[in-house]
Structure 1
Amino acid sequence: MIRTALLALTTLTLPAAAQTVPDQDAAKRLLFDTRGAQVAVLRHGFMSDADVTTLQALPEVAQLKYYGAMAAHPDEGIQAERTRGAFNFHSIDQARAAALSGCGSGCVVIAEILPRRYEAGRALTLNQDASKVVTGRDFTRAGTDAALAISPSTGGWGIGNGEQAAVATCAAAGARDCAVAVGR
């Protein structure tokens, strides 16, 4: 069963578009608290107790943002040049896929950075920075037709007065898959 789960993690693909929530109030109810993150260590046989302790301390040491993941190759260990992290994505699946892609063939996810009190299955997940914008005043300051667009492949996002403006702001950083996630 563990092998099946690991195989599923290594074959994830990034979603083509974001799920859209009709308005800011609905989005606020779906998003997680933006104050801090927690680490879930996915222990593998090649990891020592010291490796696990190091990974558990990551959010405090590096102030990593959710959703994030770290991947390593079992033959090389977690302190290898090949080990990769991907942080501040819009879902744990996207972070896992990015970390595994950066690490390469044969790598496995060794840690996940999640919101505090994380529970799977929410209709909307945004990275920590975008969540702060939607739950704060910055979203309404974007205008009467405020919208937030996200890039699933990069973790990027943008707000604007209207859907086209939000997508353009998101795409300005080079993302090609921006889609509106929250509108007014």
Structure 2
Amino acid sequence: MSTGLVMAFTNLAFAQDTMDARSARGQLFDHRGGEVVLLPNDVLTEEQQAQLSQMGGAIPYYGAIAVAPDEGFLSEANQAAANHHSIASAEVAALAACNQARTSARACVIVMHFLPRNYEAGRALEMSQTATEAFREYRRGRDEKAFAISAATGNHAFAKGVGAVGLALEACNVGDGTENTAATDCYTVIQD
């Protein structure tokens, strides 16, 4: 899949309407953990799948694991992407990292998802586990406020007060200097 096609897909997957906090609360999953979903594959043995399934809620949702089929279970090419705002975004990130790192001919495949507990597809708003946790703080207070997320990186930020939308977008695009790198695709998902 070409980079342009991946970005177009990612942007389409995240074309969500902005909603208020009350509506958002009804859409978001519980922030307290998730579940592992093993996908049918011919790459991992039953023992390897059992080992991976023990990860439980240790990796924040939405996440995915991609493996290089010809490089073995412990290959450095095998990559995980976690804490994204949808499973589609996590898959894109895991596959891109795995395919870049692999040395074999066969393309990487997704073998596992990390999803919110009781996940159901099709909700109007999906946010990563840490963004969903941050939403609890966002809801406090009655000031003007906005919450922004990045589809490509999993970044999120919120701001309160005058100019909240611009401040949230700026903070989201800058990242936090640790695991969240700079983004260019942040957009507002919640605004009050």
Q: 1:84 aligns with which of 79, 84, 87?
A: 79
Kindly provide the amino acid, as one letter, of the partner of residue 132 in structure 1: E
> Matches of 1:56 and 1:95 in 2, distance apart?
18
> Matches of 1:130 and 1:150 in 2, distance apart?
8
Q: Deviations over 1:52-94 (max 9, x none)?
A: 111101135xx21000000001112332110000000000000
> Matches of 1:80 and 1:142 in 2, distance apart?
48
Question: 2:36 corresponds to which residue?
Answer: 39
Kindly provide the amino acid, as one letter, of the partner of residue 88 in structure 1: N
Question: 2:47 corresponds to which residue?
Answer: 50
Secondary structure of 2:124 counterpart? coil
Question: 1:120 corresponds to which residue?
Answer: 121
Q: Deviations over 1:128-167 (max 9, x none)?
A: 0111122x1x103476111100011000001012211110
| Kept in 2: contact 1:14–1:94 (CA 8 A) | yes
What percentage of aligned pairs have identical amino acids?
34
Change (3 A) 1:172 1:142: farther
> Matches of 1:31 and 1:140 in 2, distance apart?
13
Q: Deviations over 1:93-130 (max 9, x none)?
A: 00000000000060000100000000111110000011
Post-superposition offset of 1:45: 1.5
> Matches of 2:142 and 2:71 in 1, distance apart?
50
Change (3 A) 1:100 1:167: same
Higher-RCO chain (CA-CA 8 Å, sequence separation at least 6): 1
Q: CA RMSD in A?
A: 1.9
Change (3 A) 1:121 1:93: same
> Matches of 2:11 and 2:73 in 1, distance apart?
28
Kindly provide the amino acid, as one letter, of the partner of residue 168 in structure 1: E
> Matches of 1:165 and 1:180 in 2, distance apart?
11
Secondary structure of 2:43 counterpart? coil
Q: 2:91 aligns with which of 89, 92, 96?
A: 96
TM-score normalised by L of structure 2: 0.83
Q: 2:17 aligns with which of 20, 26, 35?
A: 20
Secondary structure of 2:119 counterpart? coil
TM-score normalised by L of structure 1: 0.86
> Matches of 2:20 and 2:191 in 1, distance apart?
5
Residues paired across the two proteins, number? 171
Q: Deviations over 1:17-64 (max 9, x none)?
A: 55133200100000001111101111311211111111101135xx21
Return 5+ residue gaps in structure 2 as ranges.
100-105, 176-181
Change (3 A) 1:25 1:31: same
> Matches of 2:119 and 2:157 in 1, distance apart?
24
